[in-house]
Structure formats: C-alpha cells, structure tokens
A = this chain, B = another copy of it.
C-alpha cells in the first residue's frame, strides 16, 4: 500500500465549497484502478490547509494511471478552482505498523 499525502491550501472563504466539491469527487477516486481509500482532513492550526489522504495499491496507480486518466481532469475541474497554490504531493509507505485500537490484535491473548 502506498499513501498519497496531498497538502492543499484553499483560498480563504472557499473552505465549504472545497469540502462539498471533494465529497462529490470521491466517486472519481472510488472507481480509479488500485485506489483503496480516500479521506480529506482539515488542519486545526491552519484552517485553510487540508490533507488529502489517498491509499493506492501501487505508486503507478496514482502517478501514471490516475493522473493520465480523464477522471483526473474531472477531479481538477471539480476542486482546482479552490486551490490557493499547487498542492504539495508526497507518497509514503508504512515503516512501523504501530497499533490501531479500533482493530482487534491478531496476536493471541495472554494465557490462551
């Protein structure tokens, strides 16, 4: 799994429009090859700054297949007018799994 992290600065006053447009654009990602999930976060410290998190099966599913598809143009058409500047995009992979309190541990319980 590759995580796309897009840091998006939105023009002041366009936050609600950006969020509504991103919600509408979800289906474009949902049908994209290799796209496994999407969530849009808003910064507490900088309320015009967002982080778009998109999980992809491979890096190329984002950088080659999605960016080369008509749906990417559609995505930009839906949300691009809200951008204050070009989004900063980076990709990451999991280095340390850590823990997730919402998921049951796969390790057997002590004493069992």
Residue in contact with A40 in the complex, picked from B2, B44, B95, B102, CB distance below 8 Å:
B95
Give the number of copies in the complex.
Answer: 2
- CA–CA, A50 to B43, complex, Å? 19
For A101, the chain B residues whose CB sits under 8 A away are 35-37, 55
How close is A29's CB to chain B, nearest CB, in angstroms?
7
- CA–CA, A92 to B95, complex, Å? 21
Residue in contact with A44 in the complex, picked from B23, B29, B91, CB distance below 8 Å:
B91
Per the 8 Å Cβ criterion, residues 34-65 of A in contact with B are 35-46, 49-51, 55, 59
Closest to A41 in B: B92
- CA–CA, A3 to B5, complex, Å? 14
